[in-house]
Amino acid sequence: MFKRKVHTIKTLELSDEMKQALTSLENDLQVLSEMQREIITQGREILGALTGQIADEVEVEEVEPVGVRVFEDDENWTELTTEGTPRQRRSAFKRRPIQEQYAEIRQILSDGEWHNSYTEGKRIAGDEREFRYLRSAISGRFRELYEAGKLERRDCQIRGAMYEYRMKG
């Protein structure tokens, strides 16, 4: 139906200067490719050496775990501290019903001041593991109460906490 006319150029004549320039360009591209490969190889070697130096300079010391799970008999597992005494949890956030956790949050927020999960977790926690757990548990309860419309929220300026909360009203 529609035919496109195709013109074929049978010969293309290049001047000697153009042929020399194209040959020079091809040689330059090969040299640049080789230089790029060398730079990548050297970069990998340097990175490997730096990684090795950093790993060599960091002293690794054995740390005893804070809590160890000990198998006492066929049915019971007990969490012990490194001293061999059972852990004492002082907060309402460890294995407690959600209503007790909400009651604890309401008690924390009853003074009408702004509170965040970071400072409250530090205040309540007995050790670092408990603090890490409490920070996320308290933050979750704060968020749930905020989404239910019972708390006010604002950005927090304290490092480690994103928001601060207080009771509405």
**Confidence at residue 77, expressed as pLDDT on a 0 to 100 scale:** 36
In a domain, 154, yes or no: yes
In a domain, 38, yes or no: no
In a domain, 129, yes or no: yes
CB neighbours of residue 53 within 10 Å: 10
**Confidence at residue 56, expressed as pLDDT on a 0 to 100 scale:** 53
In a domain, 55, yes or no: no
**Confidence at residue 9, expressed as pLDDT on a 0 to 100 scale:** 67
Domain extent for 127: 98-169
In a domain, 80, yes or no: no
Considering its fold, how many domains does the chain have in total?
1
Q: Which amino acid, residue 17?
A: E
**Confidence at residue 87, expressed as pLDDT on a 0 to 100 scale:** 55
Residue by residue, pLDDT tens for the chain (169 residues) are 677 777 776 777 888 999 999 999 999 999 999 999 999 889 888 888 777 765 555 555 555 555 554 444 433 334 445 555 555 555 666 677 888 888 888 888 888 899 898 888 888 887 888 888 888 888 888 898 899 888 999 998 888 788 899 988 7
**Residue 133 is part of a domain; what is its CATH number?**
1.10.10
Q: Determine contact, residues 125/134, Cβ cutoff 8 Å.
A: yes
Distance of alpha carbon 153 from alpha carbon 141, whole angstroms: 13
Distance of alpha carbon 46 from alpha carbon 67, whole angstroms: 41
In a domain, 111, yes or no: yes
**Confidence at residue 73, expressed as pLDDT on a 0 to 100 scale:** 40
Distance of alpha carbon 98 from alpha carbon 119, whole angstroms: 21
In a domain, 68, yes or no: no
**Confidence at residue 74, expressed as pLDDT on a 0 to 100 scale:** 36
In a domain, 118, yes or no: yes
